[in-house]
A and B are shown apart, each in its own frame.
Chain A
Amino acid sequence: MRKVYLDNAATTRLHDEVFAEMLPYLKDIYGNPSSIHSFGREARKAVEEAREKTAAALGAEPREIIFTSGATEANNIAIRGVARALLQKGRHIITTAVEHHAVLDACKALEEEGYRVTVLPVDAYGMVSPQDVADAIADDTILVSVMLANNEVGTVMPVAEIGKICRERGVIFHTDAVQAVGALPVNVDDLQVDLLSLSAHKFHGPKGVGALYVRKGTKLKVFSFGGAQERKMRPGTENVAGIVGLGKAIELATTGMEAKVSRIKAMRDKLIAGLLAIPDTRLNGHPEKRLPGNVNISVKYVEGESMILSLDLKGIAVSSGSACTSGSLDPSHVLMAMGLDHQTAHGSLRLTLSANNTEEEIDYVLSVMPDIVARLRAMSPVYPGKE
C-alpha cells in the first residue's frame, strides 16, 4: 500500500543528512562534553557548533541558546523561569486561548501558585489582537506568551507587533515558535522577542531535543538541578547526537527556505481547493496568514476520528488536531476558542505537509476523500442528506 504522511505538524521524518551528521556522535565521538579530556572536548565542540548554527538561524548569539529535551521543556523553563525570577515585580501573566498545552498548563500551574493569568480570546481565524495584549498589560505584568504560529489551524500571529508593544511597556515576551521554524522567517530581533522555544522534530530533526532562546539579560530561575550544563539552566549530560541533529536540521530547514515553502504552499492550496469542493466543508484558520503546510478543515456531519481511521486504511496519515491530546475526547480548545460549535469542531481534520510530500500524493488524497466522506455521511445519524 502506498504511504502518504500528512501529519508533519505532529512530527516529521528525520532528514537523511541529519542522520548522517548524528551517527558519528553516537558511535565514535561519544565523549561526555563535560569531560576535560580530548574525547569530551570533541563532543563539546560539536554541541557548541550546533549552538552556533541554531543561533545563526534565529539571528541570535550562541550564548543565548539553551538546549532542552524539547519544546515542552523549553516552554516550561521560559514561563516558570520568568515567573519565579520576577516574583518581586509582579504576578501577572498574559497568554492566549489557543496556545499549546505546554504553555497553557504551565500557566495553569502558576495560577495554582498564586499568579494571575489573563487568557486572551482569538477571533474566528484564531488570531489574537495586539490591541488586546496592550490593554491587558498591567503594572504587575511580568510576561506575555503568544505563539508564532498555531499548531492546529496554522494561523500566524502578529508576534512582531506584540513584541513591539511588550518592549515599549517593559514586559518580557515569549513566543512558542515550534511550528514556525523552517516555515516562516524567524528572527528574534525582527520579532522583538526575549524568549523563543523550538523543537527539532518539527523540522526533520530528531525527537527529544529542543532549544530555548534567552535574550541576554533576561532573568530566569532554574527549576531542574544537577550539573553545570547549559549554564546551569538545564543540567544533565547533553543529548549530543540530538543536539548535533538539531543544528543540522535547523540549518537545512532555513537554507533555501523560500523555494521549499512556495512548493509546499502550492500543494497546500491545491489540497484546500480540492477539499472545499466537497459539500458542507469549511476551512479553519486564516485564509492567508497561515503556515505554508497547514490545512485544517471541518467536514460537517462526520467525526474527525472516523475520517482519520478511514484515511489510515488508505495509507494516509493525518490527524484531527494536536497529537498530544489526541487521546482525549474533548474537542480542540483551539477550535472552540475560534467559536466553532462542538459538532463542527469534532468534524475537523488536520493535514500538514512537508517538503517530502509530492503533488501526486495530494492528488491521491483528493481522489479518495470524497468517497470516504460520502460513506461516513451515509452512516451518520445527523446527516440530513440521507434518504
Chain B
Amino acid sequence: MRFAAETGTVMRREIMRQVYLDNSATTAVLPEVAAEMQKVLLDAYGNPSSLHTMGVEAERIKNAARRILAEACGGREEELIFTSGGTEANNLAVKGVARRLKRRGRHLITTQVEHPSVLYACRALEEEGFSVTYLPVDGTGRVRLDALEEALQEDTLLVSVMHVNNETGTVMPVAEIGRLVKEKAPEALFHVDAVQSFGKLPVSAGDWQADLITISAHKIHGPKGCGALWRRAGVPLAPLFHGGDQEAGLRPGTENMAGIAGFAAAARLALAEQSKRAAGLARLKEFFLRAVFAAIPDITVNSPKEAAPHIVSITFPGVKGEVLVHELTRWGIYVSTGSACHSRRADPSHVLLAMGRTPKEIEATLRFSFSPLNTEAELEYTVEKLQQAVAHLRRLTRRK
C-alpha cells in the first residue's frame, strides 16, 4: 500500500507487506482529500449557520461541495441532502417517502439482495403497517424484471433497488427498472442505492428516471461518517429526526464540515479519473481472475462477467471463508467474507442465498474488492498466498 509505505505510522506496517483488498467495506482517504479536510478542521472551522464571515465561508464550502455531488448524480445543487452516511441516507429515502406518503398508499418494492439499511428500514415499515414486496434475483444476482412488473401496483409508493451489489458487484438494470416503474406505476418513486457504484460507474438520475439516489464518501477514498441523499426537487420526504433548519429541515444538526469537504474532494478526483480508474480496475480484476483460475482448482466465481470492475466474489469449496480471511490476514492481505456490516453475524449472506447458493457454498466464499491504489504485484502476492492457504485448508478438510 502506498500510504503505509509513505507515512509508516504503525510499527507493524513497516515490516509486513500490506495488501488491502476490502475496498467495498471502506477505503483509505487520499492525501488530497485529507488536505481539504485539514483546512476545514483547523482554519475554516465556522458553523455554516453562523452569520459572520467564518459562517459564510463554511456555508460557501458546503454549497460548493453540494453542487459537485448533486451534479455527479445528474441533479441540481439544491437537491442534495448531506447525511451521516449511506445507512442514514437509505433510511431517510425509504422511511421518509413511506411516512410522508402513507395516505396515498402502503406498498413498497425492493429486492432480496439490498444492503441491510434498506432491508431493515423496509422491515421497520412493515411493523408500521406497510406492505413490502422483496423481489427475487436470478443466479447472477440481477433482479427479475418480470417479478417487478407483476409487483407494481397503482398505490406503490416506492421502488428501491441498488445499482451495484456490495457483495457480488452485480450491476442492476436500473435504467430498465426506472422505465418500467414510470410506465406501470407513474406515481411511484424510484430510489437507487448507488453507494457501491458512485465514482466508479456513471450515475445518472436522468437516465435512470430516479427520484432519489444514495451515495457515500468512504467508499470512494473519502472519509467515513458522511453520505448524501440526492432527491429530485419536489419529491416529498419526512425527516428521520428533528431540531434545526439545516438541510431544509430534512436533516438537522451541525454539518460534518470536514466530512462534506472531504466527500467533495474525493468525488472530484473520482469523477475526473472515472473512466481511467474503471479501466484500471477492470484490468486488475481480469489479471486477478486469470491468476486465481490458473493457481487454484475447483472454484466458482459468483460475480457475473458484466459485474462492476471492483468486486469479485469467489467460492472455494472445501474451505471455510472465515478461516481463509484470518489465514490471509497473517500475510498482511485483507479481504472479507461478504459485507462488513454482516461479518459479525453467523447467518449466511442473504445475497448469495437469494442467488441460489447453498449455505455450505456461502460459507466457503470470499469477497475481493479493489481500488485504483492496488497493483498487479499485490495481486500476484495475494494469489500466491491464497493458493497456499486454500491447498493447506483443503488438505485439512479432507483428512477429517
Contact = CB atoms under 8 A, between A and B. Distances in A.
Interface string B9-47: 110010000101010011111010110011001100111
Interface stretch (B68-76, B248-256, B375-383): B248-256
Contact of B26 (A32, A70, A106, A317): A32
A207 B44 CA distance: 12
A223 B173 CA distance: 31
B246 interface: yes
A35 B116 contact: no
B191 interface: no
A228 interface: yes
B53 A317 contact: yes
A105 B243 contact: yes
A233 to B, nearest CB: 13
Nearest to B244: A324
Interface in B113-127: 115-117, 120-121, 123-124
Interface string A38-69: 11101000000000000000000000000001
A27 B3 contact: yes
A24 B86 CA distance: 23
A29 B12 CA distance: 12
Nearest to B37: A26
B226 interface: yes
Contacts of A26: 28-29, 33-34, 37, 223
A225 B52 contact: no
Contact of B225 (A201, A227, A238): A238
A324 B245 contact: yes
Contact of B49 (A105, A201, A242, A324): A324
Contact of A227 (B41, B116, B226, B255): B116
B345 A28 contact: no
A77 to B, nearest CB: 8
Interface in B67-117: 83-88, 90-91, 115-117
Contacts of B7: 24, 27-28
A208 B244 contact: no
Interface stretch (B136-144, B154-162, B272-280, B333-341): B333-341
B42 to A, nearest CB: 6
Contacts of A118: none
Contacts of B340: 32, 34-35, 40, 227, 237
A348 interface: no
A34 B337 CA distance: 12
Given A11-B45, A38-B334, A226-B117, A27 B34 contact: yes
B51 A235 contact: no
Contacts of A235: 87, 116-117, 120, 341
Contacts of A209: 225, 256
Contact of B25 (A24, A29, A32): A32
B252 A102 contact: yes
A378 interface: no
B10 A10 contact: no
B284 interface: no
A71 B255 CA distance: 11
A1 to B, nearest CB: 10
Given A26-B28, A237-B26, 11 more contacts: A10-B46, A11-B50, A11-B254, A40-B343, A207-B255, A235-B87, A236-B85, A237-B216, A319-B51, A323-B50, A325-B245
Interface of B: 3-4, 7, 9-10, 13, 18, 20, 22, 25-29, 31, 33-34, 37-38, 41-42, 45-47, 49-55, 83-88, 90-91, 115-117, 120-121, 123-124, 216, 218, 223-226, 240-246, 252-259, 322, 325-326, 328-329, 334-337, 340-345
